[in-house]
Amino acid sequence: MTIPRAAMAATALGAAALVGWTGPVPASAAPDPGLSRYLGQRLDWGACPADAPDLAEAGARCARVTVPLDYSAPGGRSIELAISRIRGGDRAHRRGILLTNPGGPGGPGLDHTARLRPAMGEAADRYDLIGFDPRFVGRSTPIRCGPSPRPEPTHSRREAFDASVRKARETAQRCYEHGDNAALLPHASSRNVVRDMDLIRAVLGERKLSYYGVSYGADLGAAYTQAFPGNADRVVIDSVTDPRLTQYENFQAAGEAQERGLDEWAAWTARRHGEYRLGDTPARVRAVVERLGSRVDDGPLPIGDHTLDASVLGLFLRQMVGGEENDATLARAVRNLVDAADGRDVRPIPELSMWLELFTSPDPALDNLFNSGNAIFCGDGGWPAGGWPDDPERHWRDTERARRTQPVFAATANAVFPCPFWKTEPREPGIRIGNRVPLLMLQATRDNNVPHAGAVAMRRKLQGSRLISADIRAHGVYGRGTDGLTPVPCVDQAVNAYLRTGTLPPADSTCRRPSGRPSTTS
């Protein structure tokens, strides 16, 4: 399976967490009087960007919405957000608008509706589907930080860690100094994205907002129900983080789950030893991967025209173990890397080559994706932002401690982000989740990006919700068939029924696949 570069990078960032956020938020559907200058704006709907062909094929039109840079001073500077609209075909039964977000933070979502629409079936006809690039992402006043220096070659775990600290500090400085970022960065936060979502609703003249969001987009959906409960209509959130944990703790929690995902893959690969020659038991296959980790800890591994370091290997493995459909790709890639480590002249397989190019080839779109994501991570929560340790040595101690049970993913799960060195402090606290707004939650039981236990914790905070779990190893469970992945029909059916009728399932449930055939059990 070929993984889009944007999806690869967004997964490398991972989902944000809404946790530990305090402070009241407006709950009324009435618009803030200070926003009156924005509510009367007329949108100029026209052709969508040429590099979003899916939107043109779906008959979408695009426009730009003006929003305040600073919601505490709406009379000041404004910024523009790019939005798209695919009109529903059933005007007689029109429900309203359904806004979507594909995750990140930092993921552009202008064309997400075009990809989601086929999964919605008849339910899509009842909504105008609204896609948008969140503030500072994609075509919405994008933040860029300029090209980063090439990775430093390192030859030990400690050298690699020290290099990561230098890179995080340099990134924070470079992002602050680049372009107009010093004025923009203080206003990068999930709280402001949620405000933008509600202003889009109001500008479009809608009383209510229906919503689908996956990964970080799911966190945004939970935040919207908290910030604007009276404006939330039919809300579906797919693959949320744990509201009890800080951002850093959510990354740490994923480490153990990723090790379990690697064990699943190792068992799958051991059964195919004749094909991949990586070991005839799960333990032997895992040992091969751990030896590769030790090899790149000692220095970059040349493969074809590229080199592979420990950081890129960790991110690649994390991406691959996240989905069952990646098992064969990962086995081929590990075989590829073992041959390279043995001195053979090999070329990286295409999927591995994409990852190597991702971190070595300058790309303004990826610069924006990574650094707008950093801006959200660092703009949410307290100080240090999002619960990131302000002492880099804490990361080192946590990594070394975790290696006892996480020999492959400890460094990735405890990685240093730029937030402790960020030049702008969060301007306000985030949103503490806890309400009774009806909504539908989805989560894979073996999600190792945001583990299932976090969804259970979020379910307790969202007391009006229902949780449908899917017994698969994946991140994101709705509409998988439209991405060429194995669908979970009982999830798709439940979501579409809810979007059509507004009736939640009577109880939480799990979609299982006995003998490969999906079914639902309570």
User: DSSP labels for 245-256?
Assistant: S-HHHHHHHHHH
Looking up tokens 């709705």 gives 478
Which of 140, 210, 215, 372 is catalytic? The answer is: 215
- What is the residue type of 472? I
Q: Dihedral sign, CA of 214, 130, 484, 519?
A: positive
Q: Which residue in 504, 435, 515, 513 sits closest to 473, CA to CA?
A: 513
CA distances, 308 to each of 293, 348, 406, 521 (Å): 10, 10, 20, 44
Cβ count within 10 A of residue 55? 25
**Packed helices 310-321 and 282-297: angle between N→C axes, nearest 10 degrees:** 150
Alpha helices in 25-64 (DSSP H): 36-39, 53-57
What number of helices (H) and strands (E) belong to the chain?
A: 19, 12
Rounded to whole angstroms, the Cα distance separating 99 from 134 reads: 12
Phi/psi of residue 85, nearest 5 degrees: -140, 125
Extract long-range pairs of 146-153: CB within 8 Å, 24+ residues apart.
146/174, 146/178, 146/367, 147/362, 147/367, 148/174, 148/367, 150/360, 151/309, 151/311, 151/359, 151/360, 153/299, 153/300, 153/307, 153/309
> Which residues, at least 6 apart from 440, have a Cβ–Cβ distance to it below 8 Å?
234, 235, 236, 237, 465, 466, 468, 494, 495, 498, 504, 505
Query: Does residue 390 sit in helix, strand or coil?
Result: coil
Which of 447, 465, 469, 509 is catalytic? The answer is: 447
- Determine whether 178 is an active site residue: no
Cα pseudo-dihedral 387, 391, 392, 394, rounded to 10: -80
- Determine whether 215 is an active site residue: yes
Note the Cα 219 to chain centre separation in Å.
Answer: 9
Rounded to whole angstroms, the Cα distance separating 299 from 160 reads: 9
Cβ count within 10 A of residue 172? 22
Rounded to whole angstroms, the Cα distance separating 64 from 51 reads: 17
Note the Cα 189 to chain centre separation in Å.
Answer: 15
Cα pseudo-dihedral 420, 423, 427, 430, rounded to 10: -30
Which of 84, 306, 475, 492 is catalytic? The answer is: 475
Q: Which residue in 497, 448, 436, 472 sits closest to 14, CA to CA?
A: 448
- Determine whether 475 is an active site residue: yes
Q: Is there a contact between 60 and 53 (Cβ–Cβ < 8 Å)?
A: no
- Catalytic residue positions? 215, 447, 475
